Amino acid sequence: MIIIIMGVAGSGKSTVGKLLANELGCHFYEGDDLHPEANVKKMAQGIPLDDKDRAPWLEAIRKIIRDALDRHENAVIACSALKNSYRDILRLSEDVAFVYLKGDFALFQQRLAGRSGHFMNPNLLGSQFETLEEPKDALQIDASLSPEEIARQIRKQFSI
């Protein structure tokens, strides 16, 4: 199974993803690490990415998913996957599941204000909410819960 932890910046994707992968004994992939340098520079400057910018990034994540599926390995991936079309690119089989960490702007803004060492400009949070198409086919979990509780709910939902 491939579990994609999705949501806007500050939702806790990486924190939850690392914890869950550790609990499951599988590999964790950080989607942010797969952005081309041009994307990183744009985001650091506070310039929102468009579909064209995201295409090579989504293809890199898609390749990780394909490789894991081909090896019959479980994996957890942190990826914003903001639009339905992005999720369609990543949904390579029924073994790919999305977990949407849902929350409000104020919570995520507060988290981003306290975060250091990340290229994502906190001023882009508004554009991420504008781009977000909330998934109808994902497990939705309240992002204000503790990472441990979120991981517990994921494991319970997927019986893993």
CATH label of the domain that carries residue 25: 3.40.50.300
Specify the pLDDT at position 122.
Answer: 59
**pLDDT of 149 higher than 60:** yes
**Average pLDDT, integer, range 24-53:** 90
Task: Provide the whole-model pTM.
Answer: 0.91
Virtual torsion, Cα 8, 13, 15, 21, nearest 10 deg = 180
**pLDDT of 80 higher than 70:** yes
User: CA–CA distance from 26 to each of 15, 23, 126, 145 (Å)?
Assistant: 15, 8, 33, 23
Query: Residues 28, 35: contact at Cβ < 8 Å?
Result: no
pLDDT-based confidence at residue 56 (cuts at 50, 70, 90): very high
Query: In this structure, what are the phi and psi dihedrals at residue 2, rounded to the nearest 5 degrees?
Result: -110, 120
Total structural domains within the chain: 1
User: pLDDT (tens digit, 9 = 90+) per residue, 86-138?
Assistant: 999 999 999 999 999 999 988 988 888 766 655 555 577 888 899 999 999 99
Instruction: Write out the residue range of the structural domain in which residue 99 sits.
Output: 2-158
Question: DSSP 3-state assignment of 133?
Answer: coil
Helix (H) or strand (E) holding 150: helix 147-158
pLDDT-based confidence at residue 63 (cuts at 50, 70, 90): very high
